Structure 1
Amino acid sequence: MSNIDKRNRLDEEVFTYRVTKDNKVFISYMGRQVTSLVGKEADKFLTRISGQDFKAVQLVMAKVTGNFKRGNEKDSKRE
């Protein structure tokens, strides 16, 4: 996994998820919701993360969210 996460961003908890009663999954990046999964996609995601360690779960969430960043996001730490 070191080849995938060269900047060690997945060691931090940058992605989080929450599951609702009706099995919808909401994935957030740095506290902001970036995607939601329903139905078969949500079931597939929950199956993929079950039994995984923290960093592997972070990687799955990174792959599921896809290319949502375009480089024009403001980093509140830099301001």
Structure 2
Amino acid sequence: MSGAPSGFSYKYRKNGDVVISHHRRVATTLRGDTAAEFMEDMNEASPSDAQDSMARLTGNYRRGNERLAKDHPRNG
């Protein structure tokens, strides 16, 4: 498995939007209440927690069950 998420960054824009990038490529843009909540979370988050949060918001997050799913009978 790849381990903890990494390579995420974010940029706060003057209009209140937050752009989340993964390895310098735009992954998603947050607007409105979602962007405001995200910024509040980032003010209190450790670097590791920030990476986890951005990975979840972009959908680029491993759930840890990939190996189990591979061995399931319907996937054989």
TM-score past 0.5 threshold: yes
Partners in 1 of 2:60 and 2:48 — Cα distance?
19
The gaps in structure 1 that reach 5 residues or longer are 1-5, 69-79
Partners in 2 of 1:67 and 1:16 — Cα distance?
13
Amino-acid identity (%): 30
* 2:15 partner SS: coil
Structure with max Cα Rg: 2
Give the 4+ runs in structure 1 shifted more than 6 A.
Answer: none
Counterpart for residue 7 of structure 1: 2
**TM-score normalised to the size of structure 1?**
0.68
Tell me which amino acid in the other structure corresponds to 1:57: A
Counterpart for residue 57 of structure 2: 64
* 1:50 partner SS: helix
Tell me which amino acid in the other structure corresponds to 2:32: G
Matched, 1:34 2:12: no
Tell me which amino acid in the other structure corresponds to 1:7: S
Partners in 1 of 2:4 and 2:22 — Cα distance?
12
The gaps in structure 2 that reach 5 residues or longer are 62-76
Tell me which amino acid in the other structure corresponds to 1:53: S
After TM superposition, give the deviation of residue 7 of structure 1 in Å. 2.8
Partners in 1 of 2:30 and 2:45 — Cα distance?
19
Partners in 1 of 2:9 and 2:45 — Cα distance?
14
Aligned-residue Cα RMSD (Å) equals: 1.9
Query: Going by fraction, where is helix more abundant, 1 or 2?
Result: 2
